[in-house]
Structure 1
Amino acid sequence: MQGSGPATPEAVQVAAQLRDAFAGVGVCYIDGHRIHAERQSQLLQQAQGFFDLPQSTKDSISATASGSLRGYIGIGAESGSDAFEVKEAFSYGFPWSKSVAPRNNLQGPNTWPSPDQLPGFQPAMQELFDDMVEVSLAISGGLSLALGQAFGFLPRLCDAGNTISMMRLFRYFPYHRADDLPCGLAHPDRIGSSPHTDWGFLTLIVQQPGVTGLQVNLGNSWVDVPPVEGTIVVNGGDFLSLISGGVFRSPLHRVVSDGATERLSFVLFYYPNYDAKIPVLDSLRQNLSLFDNQSLGRDPEAVGPSERLMPFGEFISNKWSQVQRSNT
């Protein structure tokens, strides 16, 4: 990782590549990390093992019961009003002890299946979380250089952000899987994940090889983001777009089914510090001349002063409160 001294030529080159990707499409592939192809395959097998547990076992570690969005999320449990999302998930994060009182509503202990039911699952997932956080910090430093700032500019905003960041394992089903569910029958329109932008800072995705489902919206067209062996897909979130004054995109994306194949993925929603505030955007405008790409994301002028000064934790908690859950 780049230190506090002058940026190396290699770091400047990577920063330029990140600038082009995040200011243009808002999505890129990352390699050169410890989460190599063989390890990804092993992790996906462990995720499959979790989802293959009896439904009663998964329901016993419900995220709803945890109070901190950590645990199992059933099929369709986060569907919006437009379509039934034919997926299930498992959510976890920083390993908070049950004896330590959370400092905010985004912290809390993880809920795991019994080691007897799924040997090795918890330590493997926790190690993956730590490694994905490390990758996120490195990307944050590169994006700082891309904004004409010191390498540590964005990583400083992310200090202790790992304590509220969230990893999710997803299993997406062919849409006909909802035919077996009363709640699915009530929703004829179905999708894997509805079109949305991510609310946070960075999103890192490990995709199952050979199964394409992730799509990004470009020029009002949906374009596949296929899995590439050994890579991690990274996209920017709304908070990053706000921090950058709209330079970096928070791309609209969705997940669809090919109608026949299940799809697994790991997704890290990497957050800054709970108390981090969006810097005054005027301080970044002087650096916008560094960017040749004029396809900017959200218009900075559309961001009100109150939103600029809102702590991230409040920002993201307000967003989560708007999620519509329907289990009926």
Structure 2
Amino acid sequence: MNTLAIELPATAQSRRIWSPFAYLALSPSFLGLSIFFALPMGMMIGMSFANVETLAPTLDNYARFFTDGLSIAGFCRTAIMSALVAVSVTVLGYPVAYFLARSKTRWRAIVFGLALAPELAGVVLRTYGWLIILEDRGFINDTLIHLGIIASPLPLSKNLFAVVVGLTHVVLPFGILSLMTSIQGIDPNLERAAQMLGASRPAVVRHIILPLSVPGIVSSLLISFTMAASAYATPALLGGAGFKVLATMIYEQVLFYINWPFAAVMAIALLVMMLAISFVGVRYESRLRARSGNLKGDAT
């Protein structure tokens, strides 16, 4: 059976796509982004160059950020915390995502509900739950002391460990969904063919599933990193007063020190960090997709 393929000229396609109706359909989105995103961002950037007392243009706020040891420490602490959360979410969420993507039993619905269950409660409620578990007189330390395993409480709260645990619990459902979508796009026949050729289940996962699900892994890392970097409640409650990240430092500058220009500089630094990580991740993912497309083209 013969088929006839008709290709439209590029000019005709472009006219069809970019018609006045397309601009009219996109205008509400452009208007909403301009009012609720572009305008506030422009105001924040302009405020970052203002003097806190005279509002005169100055670069002192940026100079203070790069010379103040507390600001740089908060920036580095935010990056380390977000990276640890991103890795933890991806590593813990991958087995669950693989099970949800491949399982056809009744347990799939139960596991899927348990994976999304943390989103049914608020972030503050979940954070207080971890605070009760991890504090010095919390469930873990009281149990270990009662069993005679330790003599004094372990430092499980008010530090980086507690914040990473709490944020991992908060962000984990988003990482699972991202990974599950990527794994579902992999043809199950590839796994069956590899097993028929003698490959074990770990070998199939290592040599087939993991390489083909790299875009989902990158997406999970990006989502987890950006959500952890912008989180406030969990670092403030589980980290305590001594654990300062950019989100909590911005809060202090706005409400306690009434220094909005310096808070705007911190917000811009946080935004630049997230945009840089997202740019690197998206570029890496696009290269992987282009490489897989070239391999498919060579195979055909």
Same-fold status (TM-score > 0.5): no
Q: Higher Cα Rg: structure 1 or 2?
A: 2
Q: Indicate the structure with greater helix content.
A: 2
Bin for the TM-score computed over the shorter chain: under 0.3
TM-score normalised by the chain length of structure 1: 0.23
TM-score normalised by the chain length of structure 2: 0.24
Q: Indicate the structure with greater strand content.
A: 1
